[in-house]
Amino acid sequence: MARLVMVVEGIVLLAAVWITMAWFDGGPPGSGASAIAFALFGLLSFYYHNFYDLRLVQTFARFVRRLPSALGLWVLLLAVSHTASVLMGWSHPGDLSSAAYLAVGTGLILPVRGLFYAFLQTPHLAKRVVILGTGELARHLAAELQASPHLHYHLLGHVDDDSHHRSEPLGPMPSPVLGPLDNLAEIVKQCEPDIIIVALVERRMRLPMIDLFNARVSGTLIEDGIDLYERCTGKLALEHVVPSSFLFSRDFVKSAWLLLARRLLSCGVATAGLVLTAPLMGLIALAIKLDSQGSIFFVQDRAGLHGQPFRLVKFRTMHPPVTPVDPSQRHWASDLVRITRVGKWLRRLYLDELPQFLNILVGHMDLVGPRPEMFDNVKAMAEQIPYYALRTTVRPGLTGWAQIKQGYSVSRDEVTEKMRYDLYYIKHMSLRFDLRIGVDTVKNILLRRGT
């Protein structure tokens, strides 16, 4: 749905340029290139203000509240583009066509968004959904559907046996229980759902296969709750995935061509990064040396491909510890106390990560992938978190899906949450996915979000 909105708004912005040109006698100075640039700047501004994250911007009122800030960035991008165009001799200083484009574009975008949100808020146009189950997965799915109006699902309720949903230790159901599994055929007849989501924790001897088959033949879509959870959240439901899902799945086996393309892309970006940031890294090294005692670089053993150790290199951002610290006894709060003045800014701007371009060129890392874990922690993590070893089936990355979605992890629960995102990335790994992660990483850096 978000992609559809982006495409529609891109077309609307292009139309705004051509409509504006038609209003003027002979049209203001403009071309197809200027129209495309105008539309791209608008979409970029909207994207960086999360207008296409429909979980955050759920209503038209929220869109309108955020719009002035997005328009400010849009104006800034247009001003920079216009200045460059004037310097190149492509435009004249008095050309105000961009201002006209902006006024018309904004005037067209507002009703388009208004109609979109009106569509989302029309219940009888939404897909009617029934969830089989009242356990943890079923409740997570119900919460996701309610928090994601862009999915355009209308939850009718749950179906589960009385002995199961009343014995759940999770508290009362937030959505109605329509009846037991034995009455599924009658419930389907009465409610006429468009989709039945199977989210039973225990399916053996409980799944009403005949009723589900009859519903499917009648036109009702049957969806697996684990798959839907994955699509809605961008992460895997680890507690509900059976080992056979990994053993027999081809999703975790990547083609040699994909791995080669990712490797070439990573090396190309790392080479360009080292060349372009070499003067900056020289200044950073000098600042670290002048600010505090100790080495310029921080080197630590991390787990790489197939769990093999490698030496990760970063700029040092902390004062050296007074006494040696056992990695297994390190505490997050004690580390924060040791951050240097320069290190504070390096971390905020993510400049301490620049030396890892060397790790990429050597072959220890790729540009995108799971964050490399401290080597001494891997064994303990693998024993505590299910399927943790799957993280090492690809090279770790400078950035990744878990980093942009979850940020830093401290507790076991946070590490587990990052694992859900890491395995989702490995399962769906592609160059297009890598590009999206790269764009989101830049957005997070500009907005100063932890990764």
Q: Dig out the tokens for 391 from the structure.
A: 């993280």
CA distance 235 to 421: 4
| Domain stop point among 99, 120, 141 | 120
Number of domains in the chain: 3
What φ, ψ does residue 134 adopt, rounded to 5°?
-135, 10
Do residues 300 and 367 share a domain? yes
Q: Which residues, 6 or more positions from 268, have their beta carbon under 8 angstroms from its beta carbon?
A: none
Nearest to 48 by CA among 425, 441, 433, 353: 441
- B/e letters for 380-411, b = 16+ CB within 10 Å, e = fewer, are ebbeebebbebbbebbbbbbbbbbbbbeebee
Nearest to 128 by CA among 47, 57, 187: 187
**Would 250 be classed as within a structural domain?**
no
**Would 248 be classed as within a structural domain?**
no
**Would 243 be classed as within a structural domain?**
no
Whether the Cβ atoms of residue 71 and residue 106 lie closer than 8 Å to each other:
yes
Q: What is the pLDDT of residue 25?
A: 46
Give 326's DSSP letter.
-
Angle value at C-alpha 25, between 23 and 30, nearest 5 degrees: 75
Q: Dig out the tokens for 81 from the structure.
A: 């583009």
Taking every pair of Cα atoms in the chain, the longest distance, rounded to a whole number of angstroms, is 77
Do residues 112 and 129 share a domain? no
Do residues 206 and 333 share a domain? no
Do residues 218 and 138 share a domain? yes
**Would 324 be classed as within a structural domain?**
yes
CA distances from 208 to 162, 164, 200, 212, 377 (A): 15, 15, 11, 6, 44
Do residues 13 and 104 share a domain? yes
**Would 15 be classed as within a structural domain?**
yes
| Domain stop point among 96, 120, 144 | 120
Q: What is the pLDDT of residue 134?
A: 87
Do residues 133 and 90 share a domain? no
Q: What is the pLDDT of residue 451?
A: 42
Q: What is the pLDDT of residue 446?
A: 75
Q: Dig out the tokens for 330 from the structure.
A: 């390190």
How far does CA 19 lie from the centroid of its chain?
35
Q: What is the pLDDT of residue 93?
A: 47
CA distances from 419 to 75, 249, 369, 395, 403 (A): 40, 18, 12, 15, 10
Q: What is the pLDDT of residue 333?
A: 47
**Would 239 be classed as within a structural domain?**
no
Q: What is the pLDDT of residue 29?
A: 47
Q: What is the CATH number of the domain that holds 154?
A: 3.40.50.720
**Would 263 be classed as within a structural domain?**
yes
Helix (H, G, I), strand (E, B) or coil at 16: helix
| Domain stop point among 64, 92, 120 | 120
Q: What is the pLDDT of residue 241?
A: 81
**Would 441 be classed as within a structural domain?**
yes
Do residues 46 and 113 share a domain? yes
Do residues 155 and 216 share a domain? yes
Helices (H) and strands (E) in the chain, counts: 18, 9
Do residues 286 and 207 share a domain? no
Q: Return per-residue pLDDT of the chain as tens, 451 residues.
A: 778 888 888 888 888 877 777 665 444 444 567 778 888 888 988 988 888 888 888 888 888 998 998 888 888 888 887 677 666 665 554 455 677 778 888 888 899 898 888 888 777 778 899 999 888 889 889 988 888 877 888 899 999 886 655 555 666 677 788 888 989 999 999 999 999 999 987 777 788 899 999 999 999 999 999 999 998 889 988 888 877 777 777 888 888 999 999 999 999 999 999 999 999 999 999 999 998 888 999 999 999 998 899 999 999 988 887 655 555 555 444 556 778 888 888 988 889 999 999 999 999 999 999 999 888 888 888 888 878 888 888 999 999 999 888 877 667 778 888 899 999 999 999 999 999 999 888 888 776 654 4
Helix (H, G, I), strand (E, B) or coil at 330: coil
Nearest to 159 by CA among 198, 101, 109, 202: 198
How far does CA 375 lie from the centroid of its chain?
26
Do residues 216 and 304 share a domain? no
pTM: predicted TM-score of the whole model, two decimal places: 0.82
Do residues 201 and 227 share a domain? yes
Angle value at C-alpha 57, between 53 and 62, nearest 5 degrees: 155
Long-range contacts, 94-103 (Cβ 8 Å, 24+): 95/28, 95/29, 96/28, 97/20, 97/21, 97/28, 97/29, 97/30, 97/34, 98/38, 100/20, 100/23, 100/28, 101/16, 101/17, 101/20, 101/30, 101/38, 102/38, 102/71, 102/74, 102/75, 102/78
Helix (H, G, I), strand (E, B) or coil at 172: coil
In terms of residue numbers, what domain contains 104? 2-120
Which stretches does DSSP call E strand in 182-336? 195-198, 221-224, 297-303, 309-315
Do residues 262 and 399 share a domain? yes
CA distances from 306 to 145, 303, 417, 421, 435 (A): 37, 8, 21, 19, 24
